[in-house]
Amino acid sequence: MTHDSNVPYIGRATSRVDGPLKVTGGAKYAAEYAAPGLLHGYVVSGAIAKGRITSIDVSDAMTVPGVVDVLTHEHRARTAWLSYNYQDMIGPPGKPFRPLYDDKIQYSGQPVALVVAESFEASRAAAALVRVSYKSEEHITDLEAVKGQSYVPPKRRSGIAPPPKPRGDADDAFDAAPVKVKQQYRVPVEHHNPMEPFATTVVREQDGGLTIYDKTQGSQNNQAYICSIFGLSKDKVRVVNAFMGGGFGSGLRPAYQLYLAVLASQTLERSVRVALTRDQMFTFSYRPETIQTVSLGAEPSGKLTAIRHHAVAGTSHFEDHQEVVVNWSGLLYDCKNAKLTYELAKIDTHTPADMRAPGAVLGVFAIESAMDELAYEVGVDPVELRLLNYAEKDENDDKEFTSKALKACFKEGAERFGWSRRSPEPRSMRDGRELIGWGMATGVWEAQLMDTQARVTIHLDGTLEVASATSDIGTGTYTVMAMTGADMFGLPLEKVRVKLGDSSLPTAPVEGGSWAAASTCSAIKLACQALTKDLLEHARALADSPLKRARPEDVVARDGRLFLRDAPGTGVAIQDILRSAKLDELSAKGEAKPDSKVQKTHSSYTHSAIFCEVRVDEQLGVVRVARIVNAVAAGKIINPKTARSQILGGVVMALGSALEEETFSDHALGRFMNHNLAEYHMPVHADIKDIDVIFVDEQDELTNELGVKGLGEIGIVGTGAAIANAVFHATGARIRSLPITVDKLIDSPAFTAEP
């Protein structure tokens, strides 16, 4: 297909530029890089939840042919002593976990040794022969048991807004309210379980430098982490994460195999790979369990008079992991009285971590379930109730919204779904033995822009390279970066090369928070503008230059030419500009930064309205989600194709959270027990029926350069509540503890008795 450079890519459904590499196996992942004499490390995981290691006997392990060494806290290279040196950009306040640091056991599954061998098989065989003895201490992993000792985190986590100051008097208003809803909601521990397990390949280069192929969402975060711990300079450590098989937040912080692989490489002065097993994927980051109480006071009309939302979340003994859980309740609804509180309680596990829409998945499930309960209480349609309490401004921070097309989401979503045909009574719709339930909810997530740099380079052969150290965790970053560069220079996509996933590229934050597309593409736009300006300067220096008197704002680059916007015939071939300047290429940088002036007066969020139909067998309690309509307001959509995929993925993950996902902990042993993909249930193809994604029109001139808001998380937010609300509508049973599994429905008194 020939490219018409007058028709921009942005806004057009575009297939992934990295798609062919992925489907042909050409895309290499962290554990797929080879090196001469590569050693293989296998992690030995600890068996107890708390205590001390009394001895580690490696004698049998060392007899396995091919085994080179077994690293333990007693036998390893020296590393930084202070926990401060183990901090990373994303970590919460506290003392980060230091693998193989000392004899202390802080959680079950903690790495206690690394067997290093000439082959993976030898390292695995020997790992089973490492005998670790422990002295156990009393542990507590049950949040329920410690929720009474919850506390407000004394130090807030950078980038995480604490709950806003109370407005009005929510306690008095709730007491006086003619209609009250007060309920407790629970979301269990969930694990991210991306397809690609964590792995690191450390390659020792001839010059003594390390090239580290790592599964991470942020190459520069992990580069800084390794340099700090091992006392290495940044020019000797390059972290590459060109491709990532899913992250969902699990790769925001450095995972422990990175540290172990570098430790082994530094100890043995060899190239080393360490790949975690699927079981070991359950031995670090996870979504924290939360116990939430929502109290809503309302007029009989449904108008809210009081919102209280209190959450207690689990965290480790060594760090105060924090998320935005309760703020959403005060943000979504217009209410004079709101009191939002968020506390932590410590358990003997690893520190939880951000998992897709951290905090929002939890808090929005609670508030959107409570709003549904209120809708039945006052007899108002759930959509109408939300419109009645619609927040026209951000009452948490007393700011305007840069844009908020949520009403359009309600309208278009409801129309597509056929919401007007809903019969409001629970258990009033059925098809044979199946009860039909229709539920809805609102979703919300921050639209952020993070400080990000990009470099663009135009080459003599007419190709453009766009580069930034950001990551593509499977979301389509390569493609939107290419589309932005192509549009700015009026080139076909095939002429644009993308470089990302490399710590040596221009500075970019970790990929997370739904900010990558907005931030990176804004930086590319700025870099392209700078490059155009530089090209113009060279062009003006040409003899008889037709652009002699042109100003940067007068010219555009397109189809390999730089010409006057108003007189396209007047211009110069970029090739000629480079040639006469004796350049093979010309680069320029751009840096996108949040606009602090806008931020003083405005808040920026993405919104969604989710409509869901479930079908529940009236005797057997088997729930299936027949269809979901998710209408999203996310500003400008760069690539409708990958954007839709993002929402589909979010919806599927929400379905898992609502109906299937839970990491079971044996609190007597202090250990997660269903640590594999057979027993930790996530949706399979057969669970997924119709998912319809709508992007409503939302113009936003303020949120950033491009009016783009980001889509990585919004698909999962609120969708769980829509499913739970649909289950209530179908069955009359309100299950407030996720996931809604058959045992909970069968045990619910509201669920039907036998025929």
Span of 17-25, 335-343, 478-486, 680-688 interacting with another protein by CB under 8 A: 680-688
Nearest approach in angstroms of CB 645 to another protein is: 22
The single-letter DSSP state of residue 494 is: G
Q: Which of 15, 54, 55, 619 binds another protein (CB under 8 A)?
A: 619
Residue 384 or residue 666: which is nearer to another protein going by CB? 666
Q: Which of 8, 687, 692, 702 binds another protein (CB under 8 A)?
A: 687
Phi-psi region of 750 (alpha: psi -120 to 50; beta: other; left: phi over 0): alpha
Examine residue 749 and tell whether it contacts another protein (CB under 8 A).
no
Residue 437 or residue 560: which is nearer to another protein going by CB? 437
Examine residue 684 and tell whether it contacts another protein (CB under 8 A).
yes
**478 close to 521: Cβ distance less than 8 angstroms:** no
Nearest approach in angstroms of CB 743 to another protein is: 4
Residue 269 or residue 679: which is nearer to another protein going by CB? 679
Nearest approach in angstroms of CB 624 to another protein is: 6
* Burial (CB count <10 Å: 0-12, 13-18, 19+), residue 639: buried
Q: Give the x/- contact pattern for another protein in 278-307, rule: CB under 8 A.
A: -x----------------------------
Residue 408 or residue 626: which is nearer to another protein going by CB? 626
Examine residue 145 and tell whether it contacts another protein (CB under 8 A).
no
**Which are the contacts of 428, defined by CB distance < 8 A and separation ≥ 6?**
none
Examine residue 599 and tell whether it contacts another protein (CB under 8 A).
no
How many other C-beta atoms lie within 10 A of the C-beta of residue 89?
Answer: 17
Nearest approach in angstroms of CB 265 to another protein is: 25
Nearest CA-CA partner of 445 in 607, 249, 687: 607
Q: Which of 77, 268, 391, 742 binds another protein (CB under 8 A)?
A: 742
**Which are the contacts of 149, defined by CB distance < 8 A and separation ≥ 6?**
345, 346
Residue 353 or residue 616: which is nearer to another protein going by CB? 616
What single letter denotes the amino acid at residue 623? V
Examine residue 152 and tell whether it contacts another protein (CB under 8 A).
no
What single letter denotes the amino acid at residue 697? D
Examine residue 119 and tell whether it contacts another protein (CB under 8 A).
no
For residue 546, CA distances in Å to 45, 494, 530, 573 come to 70, 29, 20, 11
Q: Which of 83, 681, 702, 737 binds another protein (CB under 8 A)?
A: 681
Per CB under 8 A, which of residues 409..438 are in contact with another protein?
433-434
**260 close to 226: Cβ distance less than 8 angstroms:** no
C-alpha span between 91 and 541 (Å, rounded): 50
Nearest CA-CA partner of 409 in 221, 605, 198: 605
Residue 696 or residue 733: which is nearer to another protein going by CB? 733
Question: Which tokens in the block code for residue 629?
Answer: 């309509």
Examine residue 111 and tell whether it contacts another protein (CB under 8 A).
no
Examine residue 669 and tell whether it contacts another protein (CB under 8 A).
yes
C-alpha span between 403 and 288 (Å, rounded): 31
- Tell me, by CB under 8 A, how many residues bind another protein: 46
C-alpha span between 230 and 81 (Å, rounded): 10
Per CB under 8 A, which of residues 253..282 are in contact with another protein?
277, 279
Nearest approach in angstroms of CB 339 to another protein is: 36
Residue 89 or residue 673: which is nearer to another protein going by CB? 673
Residue 376 or residue 438: which is nearer to another protein going by CB? 438
- Concerning whether 713 is annotated as a catalytic residue, the answer is yes
Examine residue 621 and tell whether it contacts another protein (CB under 8 A).
yes
Q: How far is CA 423 from the centre of its chain?
A: 37
Examine residue 676 and tell whether it contacts another protein (CB under 8 A).
yes
Span of 8-16, 285-293, 403-411, 663-671 interacting with another protein by CB under 8 A: 663-671
Examine residue 47 and tell whether it contacts another protein (CB under 8 A).
yes
Q: Which of 3, 95, 147, 624 binds another protein (CB under 8 A)?
A: 624
How many other C-beta atoms lie within 10 A of the C-beta of residue 348?
Answer: 23
Q: Give the x/- contact pattern for another protein in 71-110, rule: CB under 8 A.
A: -------------------------------------x--
Question: Which tokens in the block code for residue 267?
Answer: 């100890």
Examine residue 62 and tell whether it contacts another protein (CB under 8 A).
no
C-alpha span between 45 and 37 (Å, rounded): 26
C-alpha span between 346 and 384 (Å, rounded): 40
Residue 137 or residue 666: which is nearer to another protein going by CB? 666
Examine residue 60 and tell whether it contacts another protein (CB under 8 A).
no
Examine residue 755 and tell whether it contacts another protein (CB under 8 A).
yes
Sheet bearing 304-315, strands edge to edge: 179-187, 290-298, 304-315, 338-346
Number of H helices, E strands in the chain: 18, 30
Examine residue 671 and tell whether it contacts another protein (CB under 8 A).
yes
The kind and range of the H/E element at 409 are: helix 406-417
Antiparallel, parallel or unpaired: β 131-136 and 111-117:
unpaired
Which of 32, 494, 713, 754 does the annotation list as catalytic? 713
Nearest approach in angstroms of CB 436 to another protein is: 13
Residue 331 or residue 347: which is nearer to another protein going by CB? 347
Examine residue 685 and tell whether it contacts another protein (CB under 8 A).
yes
Span of 118-126, 202-210, 469-477, 635-643 interacting with another protein by CB under 8 A: 118-126
241-278 burial string, b = 16+ CB within 10 Å, else e? bbbbbbbbbbbbbbbbbbbbbbbbbbbbebbbbbbbbe
Q: Which of 674, 692, 702, 737 binds another protein (CB under 8 A)?
A: 674
Nearest approach in angstroms of CB 687 to another protein is: 5
Nearest approach in angstroms of CB 669 to another protein is: 6
For residue 365, CA distances in Å to 56, 328, 370, 397, 750 come to 45, 10, 9, 22, 21
Examine residue 118 and tell whether it contacts another protein (CB under 8 A).
no
Peptide bond into 739 cis (omega under 30): yes
C-alpha span between 233 and 377 (Å, rounded): 63
Q: Which of 683, 710, 718, 732 binds another protein (CB under 8 A)?
A: 683
Nearest approach in angstroms of CB 612 to another protein is: 16
Nearest CA-CA partner of 291 in 369, 183, 396: 183
List for the chain the helix, strand, coil content (%; round to 5): 30, 25, 45
Longest Cα–Cα distance of the chain, Å, equals 93
The single-letter DSSP state of residue 349 is: S
Residues acting as catalytic residues = 713
- Interacting residues toward another protein by CB under 8 A: 45-47, 64, 108, 121, 124-125, 128, 277, 279, 433-434, 615, 617, 619-622, 624, 659-660, 664, 666, 668-669, 671, 673-676, 678-679, 681, 683-687, 741-743, 746-747, 754-755
